[in-house]
Structure 1
Amino acid sequence: MTFAAPPEEVFDYLADPRNRPAWQTSLRAVKMLDEDGPRVGQRWRDLTWAGVRPHMRITQLQRPTLWAETGSWFGVSADLTLRFEPEGAGTAVSVEMDVRGTGPWRWPAGLADRLADGAVAGDLRRAADLLGGSSAR
């Protein structure tokens, strides 16, 4: 996904959990557990429309090139990594996502992992539009 904004602007917007309900369709709200950030270790809870409330934490933060989070809810955990690279006057954002589960959560987590790419791509398109436009890549 290419954003029509510079890497610092895109990074700052996507790395701040408080902005996520505006661009992540599955979220109703975010409950911040740590207000000082964004920073490695910052924690929050996603409050989803489906009622899932994972505990989230920033695991990597190298402004403006790399941001990663991990989330867990019962027997499911997920890792998301975003990489930011200048592309012309904009920013190319690449995504790595891994969802896994244990016990009875293994099958639903596997399904979520297969569906995640499309959902994340749609959410990033929405974020890019909010920041002034995008072009799919």
Structure 2
Amino acid sequence: MSRTVLFPVPPSVVLDYLADPAHRAEWQSSLARVEDVAGPVGVGQTWTDVTVPGLRPRMRTTALVPGERWSETGTWRGLEADLTLEVAPAPGEASIVSAQLALRGRGPVGLLARALEVVAPAAVRSDLRRAARILRERPPPAPGVGDGRVG
């Protein structure tokens, strides 16, 4: 699955926002909140997503290249999901965000993974569009903020 969304802000601002678990429930529709954040924003940071239905996948940042790419892996009861967001500059101080999602599981959980692969692309794209709207409506960051130094 790969989807792209235009963001009206530079790549560094996009990733500073999307990579920080503190913002997740604001833009990700399936989340009620985030708990148990451990470590600074960056590779190795972990947290628990508390979903609206009450599922609690454990999440971990697996890659972060400021202003370019961020990846996470989530696990829940034998189901694993990898999400990578690639960010590229676009004209007019904007960005194009490309999302790649991979789901895995064995046995009955594998069936769930395949079923989620059908609905997940639309959900990811919708969530990214929400994040783009939020960032469009926010005032621009102060000088030195959103300059690619995540954290």
TM more than 0.5? yes
The offset of 1:101, in angstroms, is: 1.2
How many Å apart are 1:24 and its aligned residue?
0.3
- Tell me the TM-score normalized by structure 1: 0.93
Report the number of matched residues: 132
Residue 45 of structure 1 is matched in structure 2 by 48
- 1:37 offset after TM fit, Å? 1.7
Q: Report the alpha carbon displacement of residue 33 of structure 1 after superposing the two structures with TM.
A: 3.2
Residue type at the aligned position of 1:99: L
Partner-residue secondary structure (3-state), 1:106:
helix
- In terms of mean alpha carbon deviation, does 24-33 or 55-64 score higher? 24-33
C-alpha contact 1:75 1:103 (8 A) present in aligned 2 = no
TM-score by length of 2: 0.85
Per-residue deviation, 1:108: 1.0
Map 1:29-44 → 2, pairs under 5 A? 29-34=33-38, 36-44=39-47
Map 1:71-82; keep pairs closer than 5 Å: 71-82=74-85
Match of 1:87 in 2: 90
Gaps of 5+ in 2: 138-151
Instruction: Provide the residue aligned with 2:23 in structure 1.
Output: 19
Letter in 1 for 2:94: G
Residue of 128, 132, 135 corresponding to 2:132: 128
Unaligned runs of 5+ in 1: none
Q: SS state of the match for residue 130, structure 1?
A: helix
Cα distance in 2 between the residues matched to 1:38 and 1:114: 30
Residue identity in the other structure for 2:88: E
Q: Which has the higher contact order (CA 8 A, sep 6+)?
A: 2
Moved beyond 2 Å, runs of 4+: none
Task: Give the counterpart letter for 1:46 in structure 2.
Answer: D
- Residue of structure 1 in register with 2:101 after alignment: 97
